[in-house]
Amino acid sequence: MPAEAFYCPHCKNRIKKSAQAYVMGESMASGGYFVALGGVPDTVRCPSCGGGIDNKKMMMGEYDARSGGAGGSRAFTYIIVAGLIALAVYFIWLR
């Protein structure tokens, strides 16, 4: 099931999908049909970097923001590394 937000494949900025893109992605994922008046462009532009984003991949959920994904993992990694360094300092110099 596609999410309501996705990350730009170029600058990794989090962007919220339009209502039409979200509904069309839900419909495409479940194998249903959805009528879009006026057609859908092949690419959309990222508002931050201006890079082209494939509209079909975006609607299908290939760029989606996963829960517990890239957002918090970097901070978690820094905390773990800092803790390991603190333990090494304690056992090497303070013991």
- Whole-angstrom distance, CA of residue 95 vs CA of residue 57: 55
Its pTM stands at: 0.55
Q: Write out the two tokens for 74.
A: 């970097």
> What tens digit of pLDDT does each residue of 35-92 get?
666 777 788 888 888 888 888 888 888 888 665 555 556 788 889 999 999 999 888 8
Burial 60-91 (b: 16+ CB within 10 A, else e): ebebbbeeeeeeeeeeeeeeeeeeeeeeeeee
Q: Read off the pLDDT of residues 26-37 as tens digits, 9 standing for 90 and up.
A: 777 777 766 666
Instruction: For tokens 């304690």, name the residue.
Output: 90
